[in-house]
């Protein structure tokens, strides 16, 4: 049996290199939950946020603008529902939670938002 170790070594090296993970771009992006209105209001401009539609569950990603329009309303591009963000009533346990009201039905529900952290 005639084995060419140089070719075998080159083939093995090529296999190892091609199997190793390659990373390009900015690296992993981590979104952390935004649980209160105060946290949402404190997000700096151009921060990417992800909002889950309370009606259909679709996730929309956008950036924080200077006017903080994400603190006023949310329009789901998937199911076309419009939600108005509202403050929660009194009581320490409820104070500051992110909630929204479906403008069509009037139903109030929690709003789930995450922000990208570097």
pLDDT tens, residue by residue, 83-96: 888 766 554 544 56
CA angle centred on 53, ends 96 and 35, rounded to 5° = 25
* Alpha helices in 1-118, H assignment, sequence order: 5-19, 37-41
pLDDT beneath 70: ranges in the chain: 1-27, 87-96, 118
Q: Given this model, what pLDDT does residue 49 score? A: 92
Residue position matching structure tokens 């075998």: 8
Contact 54, 73 (CB under 8 A): no
Q: Given this model, what pLDDT does residue 11 score? A: 58
Q: What is the CA radius of gyration of the chain?
A: 24
């Amino acid at each position: 049996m005639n084995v060419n170790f140089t070719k075998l070594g080159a083939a093995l090296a090529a296999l190892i290199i091609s199997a190793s993970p390659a990373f390009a771009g900015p690296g992993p992006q981590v979104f952390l939950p935004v649980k209160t209105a105060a946290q949402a209001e404190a997000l700096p401009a151009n921060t990417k946020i992800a909002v889950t539609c309370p009606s259909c569950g679709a996730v929309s990603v956008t950036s924080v603008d200077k006017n903080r329009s994400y603190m006023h309303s949310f329009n789901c591009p998937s199911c076309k529902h419009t939600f108005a963000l509202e403050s929660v009533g009194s009581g320490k346990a409820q104070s500051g939670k992110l909630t929204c009201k479906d403008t069509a039905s009037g139903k109030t529900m929690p709003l789930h938002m995450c922000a990208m952290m570097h």
